[in-house]
């Protein structure tokens, strides 16, 4: 028994609609029914693919969140600067306004939480690579706990944006970068 032909572009339209709604209205206001309407689909099309808003949004982020480039500037300080500047672009984006809601929902959805952690690990990879290069160049003697380095860089940005509700300035980014550099190398930045 043949059914209706599958709409090959439907999932892409749904994810694109989810991104548009996430970036304009935020996570808290995003509704699965809105995604369906915006994509020209039925609500059941959305729920058939994503049983929760958190799972939909994680797939939306996986598709649309720009990767953090792995920049090799030849120095740990400048690699950290490049990483922090790219993180700041994401943290200054409107979709982050509802991130607390997503994080709360992830606690109740193991599959979405695992997928989100994979996105975070991919986004942290450039700083892991920068640390490895710094060790190879002799800028630092030992590899610190790598996830903590990413937390040290991104934590202040997240705090400023999510809890302070303030945009990140170039001065903020430099303070974060210099602080992490000093912690990793034991030396202060003198320029």
Dihedral pair phi/psi, residue 45, rounded to 5°: -65, -35
Instruction: Please report which confidence band the pLDDT of residue 191 belongs to, taking 50, 70 and 90 as the band edges.
Output: low
What is residue 51's three-state secondary structure? coil
pLDDT tens track for 82-92: 999 998 888 88
Instruction: Give the residue with greater pLDDT, 139 vs 145.
Output: 139
Looking at residue 49, what is its pLDDT? 94
Q: Going from the N-terminus, what domains does the chain have, and what CATH number goes with each? A: 10-62 (1.10.10.60), 67-185 (1.10.357.10)
Instruction: Please report which confidence band the pLDDT of residue 1 belongs to, taking 50, 70 and 90 as the band edges.
Output: very low
Within 8 A by CB and 6+ apart from 29, the residues are 21, 98
Q: Is the pLDDT of residue 21 over 90?
A: yes
pLDDT tens track for 90-127: 888 877 777 778 989 999 999 999 999 999 889 889 99
pLDDT tens track for 124-137: 899 989 998 998 99
């Amino acid at each position: 028994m043949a059914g209706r032909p599958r709409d090959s572009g439907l999932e892409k339209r749904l994810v694109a609609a989810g991104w548009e709604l996430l970036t304009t209205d935020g996570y808290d206001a995003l509704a699965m029914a809105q995604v369906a309407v915006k994509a020209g689909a039925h609500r059941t099309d959305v729920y058939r693919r994503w049983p929760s808003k958190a799972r939909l949004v994680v797939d939306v982020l996986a598709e649309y969140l720009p990767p953090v480039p792995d920049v090799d500037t030849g120095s740990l300080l400048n690699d950290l600067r490049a990483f922090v500047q790219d993180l700041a672009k994401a943290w200054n984006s409107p979709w982050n306004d509802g991130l607390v809601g997503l994080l709360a929902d992830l606690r109740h959805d193991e599959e979405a939480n695992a997928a989100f952690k994979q996105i975070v690990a991919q986004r942290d990879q450039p700083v892991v690579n920068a640390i490895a290069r710094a060790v190879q160049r002799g800028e630092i003697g030992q590899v610190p706990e790598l996830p903590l380095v990413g937390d040290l860089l991104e934590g202040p940005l997240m705090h400023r944006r999510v809890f302070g509700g303030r945009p990140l300035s170039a001065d903020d980014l430099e303070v974060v970068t210099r602080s992490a550099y000093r912690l990793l190398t034991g030396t202060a930045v003198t320029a």
